[in-house]
């Protein structure tokens, strides 16, 4: 019985890791939706309307400018989530305090020391899959097969975990996607209504089908993204994650809640000029509590020599 249980657990873990392949399909699917939407809005409807003259041209120009600005931010935020490591535990990381007693700094809980720890020490959080200690607010992702700092969830849409280093980019992706899809929905609504009129509908069957499909897809995204955006804004305001929201006791005071302003600064940085950009200022990279005391692999925007 014991052996079969081990085999079953191993098979489930292998199934989880195989889900990474689905993520690459979802990236293609996402880019496909972007392509269909671009064709419907720019090439089929509002691009040609620029040449009609009058108030229609001005409206089309306004829609196209807003559409392209938002599209740039959506794609920038999206690929920032995809290519940014969410935060890994350094190979030889050791806890400096007894985190189970709450002695760690609530600003990070990610300090380094030379203290020895092992799985037999009940006062140290230890990952049996990674066979190493793990900091506070760190969780093991069965899909990625590693521990992730301040893990929120694994997102198949970006083939990546959402964690300490890319959570801001994920939030901005939701934010700009909501406004982009809302703009597309409102822009294509008059064209969508013509499908239910008795009069003749201008355009080829291909362009009409693309407009109809783009409208339906963007309406679906508006409704779903708005729900996720509201959930994650509330999580950020309380300085918690999706995993922690399910794990913590509802009646207990959350020790990482430092107030709305400081909670927002932990995710978006202290330099408000960068809050709506998927990047951090150099000063914020040095000062962000979640980055203090840890060394990360060198990558654009996060030089391990700075920590």
DSSP, res 279: S
Q: Rounded distance, CA 166 to CA 173, Å?
A: 11
Residue 155 is a catalytic residue: yes
Residues contacting residue 55 through CB under 8 Å, at least 6 positions apart: none
Q: How many CB atoms lie within 10 A of CB 232?
A: 21
Q: Rounded distance, CA 133 to CA 115, Å?
A: 11
Backbone angles phi, psi at 14, to 5 degrees: -65, -35
Length of the chain measured in residues? 307
Question: What does the CA dihedral 233, 236, 240, 245 come to, rounded to 10 degrees?
Answer: -10
Task: Give me 14's structure tokens.
Answer: 């292998």
Q: Which listed residue (144, 147, 155, 161) is catalytic?
A: 155
The catalytic residues are: 155
């Amino acid at each position: 019985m014991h052996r079969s249980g081990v085999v079953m657990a191993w098979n489930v873990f292998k199934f989880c890791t195989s889900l990474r392949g689905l993520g690459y399909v979802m990236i293609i699917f996402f880019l496909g939706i972007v392509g269909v939407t671009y064709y419907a809005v720019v090439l089929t409807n509002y691009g040609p309307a620029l040449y009609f003259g009058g108030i229609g041209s001005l409206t089309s120009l306004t829609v196209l400018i807003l559409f392209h600005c938002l599209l740039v931010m959506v794609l920038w935020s999206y690929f920032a989530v995809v290519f940014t490591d969410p935060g890994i535990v350094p190979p030889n990381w050791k806890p400096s305090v007894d985190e189970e007693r709450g002695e760690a700094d609530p600003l990070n809980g990610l300090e380094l020391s030379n203290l020895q720890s092992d799985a037999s020490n009940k006062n140290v959080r230890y990952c049996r899959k990674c066979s190493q200690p793990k900091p506070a607010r760190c969780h093991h992702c069965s899909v990625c097969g590693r521990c992730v700092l301040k893990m929120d969830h694994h997102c198949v849409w970006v083939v990546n975990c959402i964690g300490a280093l890319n959570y801001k980019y994920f939030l901005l992706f939701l934010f700009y996607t909501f406004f982009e899809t809302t703009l597309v929905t409102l822009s294509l609504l008059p064209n969508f209504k013509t499908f239910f009129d008795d009069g003749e509908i201008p355009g080829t069957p291909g362009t009409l089908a693309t407009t109809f499909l783009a409208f339906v897809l963007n309406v679906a995204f508006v409704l779903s993204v708005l729900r996720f955006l509201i959930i994650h804004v509330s999580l950020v305001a309380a300085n918690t994650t999706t995993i922690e929201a399910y794990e913590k006791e509802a009646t207990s005071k959350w020790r990482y809640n430092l107030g709305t302003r400081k909670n927002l600064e932990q995710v978006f940085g202290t330099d408000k000029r960068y809050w709506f950009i998927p990047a951090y200022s150099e000063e914020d990279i040095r000062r962000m509590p979640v980055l203090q005391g840890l060394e990360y692999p060198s990558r654009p925007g996060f030089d391990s020599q700075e920590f």
